[in-house]
Amino acid sequence: MLSRAINTHAELERPRDREWIHILLSFLRTYTNDMSTELISENDEEQYITHLITALRTAASSLDSGMCLLSAVT
């Protein structure tokens, strides 16, 4: 469900703002706490998680500088 929320956020071209960061952090917490559950439907799971973490760092940095990004997660 959280993975779907992340993808929907991107499809709707919503900004990577605090809401997006909270969704992503919830997803990552769930992902790391229960790796036996299949939360990701992506073929390359490691690359997908790496991309999300990189996007998280960028979004957090932009919030610090007062900007929001409008890029999509693919």
73 lies in a domain? no
Residue 56: partners with Cβ closer than 8 Å, 6 or more residues away? 21, 24, 25, 28
15 lies in a domain? yes
| Number of domain units in the chain | 1
Q: Which domain holds residue 55?
A: 2-34+41-64
Q: What is the pLDDT of residues 20-71, one digit of tens each?
A: 999 999 988 988 887 655 666 667 788 888 989 999 999 998 886 655 444 4
Q: What is the pLDDT of residues 11-34, one digit of tens each?
A: 888 988 899 999 999 988 988 887
At 34, the amino acid letter reads D
10 lies in a domain? yes
pLDDT at res. 24: 92
pLDDT at res. 30: 87
59 lies in a domain? yes
55 lies in a domain? yes
What is the value of pTM for the model shown? 0.70
